[in-house]
Structure 1
């Protein structure tokens, strides 16, 4: 889209970001779980501003906000999301939405440009109810049964209830129109330190990692912590801890340059200070953009599990 004559307004961008930051503000960040009151207010805020970019605003039946243009020519879809993780940063999501909004204001309002920017804010990208339900719905990959089954991971509230309470029940879910867009662009704040450590201001995504998640369970023998000798204990929690250390010892020789792994949750059963855990469970995750690397690491996990089982 060459020949842009309008001017991007940095102050306007910051004002928009700060307006969204004020909705659901929590300490230095925000708290906007999907379909919470702050999230819904944020959706309304965006819908009210899309006409300023010559876009028609629609909030569809799954909570996506779409700004569509009647302008002739090629169209680029851009955006991100407006809900947040619990007690999270204020730029994760809104940065991409506001950048898209500003680009639409400038490009759509220039009669000398053949084409337009359309804006999207996908619902539930942070996975409170499922896995990318809003964007997957737009791609035609979410069924009504998927929505029936979706539950809020924190409260157990059904997605149907949330959609009803938000006033979105019964609305059609919008899906991508074949050939309408020349591409999709999403700006995002860096969530690591690669750019900062390299003293770079911007980067371009070259690949998207896959995420493999595992639930690893350990079965020991629950017993009294004060009377059971150390030599005869079958402590499931200790077995789990050793497994975590073994992962960190063995994975570096098998991983790739971009591999990361995380033990995100550990639970002990019964979880009392005076009882030797009879059961333990860890939720473990591996991320990499190379399936061959993942296959090596998964095979190592299975070898380690077999060895742990054989040792009793």
Structure 2
């Protein structure tokens, strides 16, 4: 089978439609003053229904799977072929922007519409995942983990801020918890997964580049560091007798930043996002300080080496002040490298837009591709976003970048088709 690898003529109308669809999804919010659309809510249901309509308009058979993901499929040259999956997520963080997630879904729909009538050596599927952010139940990637067959039964007991369990939310949404396994896909059912997403960082904008490709998705480790001192009267305790846990924790925070910054803009990223102090009275020397640490890097080896350095530094700083240090790891996810052959397809797609040497970036944020990688090869296309801002109402993109992104994603699909057709002919 020979595949014509020239994409169709792209139009600004496709980008305008994609942006208008992002605006329509932004209106599906639980808040009148901001965008908030979380998992298994009425807003989620309305988003799925709207995207399902767009899927049917693009010539896809649409359905909602057993985990609440919105799916669409068009068969290839023969029915029942493995599918190339395109997509991203439809849920948001609280007070969100309108492009993180939904833009990738509507770009995938634009490509599906353009390729209507094309003979492809695989089925083409589009998915809008129901939960990537984890904003409601605290565990992220629920939708894509269900698709990848890595669902954890322990999640059923998770609760939201109102005390509703995940199991109860499934039932309220019209889903059967006992059937969540039906959302899982087998490796032989998938050719691969391509995800378009805003960069959520400043590097493409700094390079004046519309698009880039992802080399790897950072694996994160998260910790709670508890610094133990001694609570005493603020007025009656001289400095020579103080074992101030907050002062020690503050030194740990600055050390974390110093060590991470020394690795440069493309090195490790470390963030202390929360500090809690006990007893927390204005006239008491703090006896305990608990701080969180989120640590990410392009490779697990870099991240783990940095953690060992940070842990040693924190222990030394605490010991010098007569403080104790307790560490609990709360999360660990391995880095996910993108498959070289799919990366090459994305690079080839970007090249069709006029960028002969596109930039490879490692993603500091997590994405659904991380979960899908358990069942299929993955790759990602990044789009420039204004000032690198994301997870904020000021999140913004340029129409020209969306137009180029749709062109590049379409060309990437055709490049994948050429590879798959070549395998079949071999």
Q: Distance in 2 between matches of 1:256 and 1:195?
A: 13
Within-5 A mapping of 1:138-149: 138-143=147-152, 145-149=153-157
Q: CA deviation at 1:218?
A: 0.8
Residues 63, 71 of structure 2: 8 Å contact kept: yes
Q: Distance in 2 between matches of 1:252 and 1:10?
A: 37
1:157 aligns with 2:164: yes
2:75 maps to which residue? 70
1:56 maps to which residue? 61
1:15 maps to which residue? 20
Residues 286, 294 of structure 1: 8 Å contact kept: yes
1:134 maps to which residue? 143
Q: Distance in 2 between matches of 1:127 and 1:225?
A: 41
Q: Provide structure 1 residue ranges, at least 5 long, that are not aligned to the other structure.
A: none
Residues 85, 126 of structure 1: 8 Å contact kept: yes
Alpha-carbon RMSD across the aligned residues, in angstroms, is 2.5
Q: Distance in 1 between matches of 2:197 and 2:105?
A: 9
Aligned pair partner of 2:288 in 263, 266, 279: 279
2:96 maps to which residue? 88
Residues 84, 191 of structure 2: 8 Å contact kept: yes
C-alpha change, 1:290 and 1:36, in structure 2 (3 Å) is same
Aligned pair partner of 2:302 in 283, 293, 300: 293
1:104 maps to which residue? 112
Q: CA deviation at 1:253?
A: 4.4
Q: CA deviation at 1:302?
A: 2.4
C-alpha change, 1:27 and 1:192, in structure 2 (3 Å) is farther
Q: Distance in 1 between matches of 2:197 and 2:299?
A: 22
Within-5 A mapping of 1:202-281: 202-253=211-262, 257-281=266-290
Greater length-normalized contact order (CA 8 Å, ≥ 6 residues apart): 2
Q: Provide structure 2 residue ranges, at least 5 long, that are not aligned to the other structure.
A: 323-426
Q: CA deviation at 1:309?
A: 4.0
Q: Say which SS state the counterpart of residue 282 (structure 1) adopts.
A: strand
C-alpha change, 1:177 and 1:307, in structure 2 (3 Å) is closer
Which stretch shifts more, 127-136 or 262-271? 127-136
Q: Distance in 1 between matches of 2:296 and 2:98?
A: 24
Q: CA deviation at 1:113?
A: 5.4
Q: Distance in 2 between matches of 1:253 and 1:14?
A: 39
Q: Say which SS state the counterpart of residue 274 (structure 2) adopts.
A: strand
C-alpha change, 1:113 and 1:70, in structure 2 (3 Å) is closer
1:213-234 CA-partner distances (Å, limit 9, x unpaired): 1110011112233433333222
Q: TM-score, normalization: structure 2?
A: 0.66
Q: CA deviation at 1:115?
A: 4.9
Q: CA deviation at 1:82?
A: 0.7
C-alpha change, 1:228 and 1:30, in structure 2 (3 Å) is same
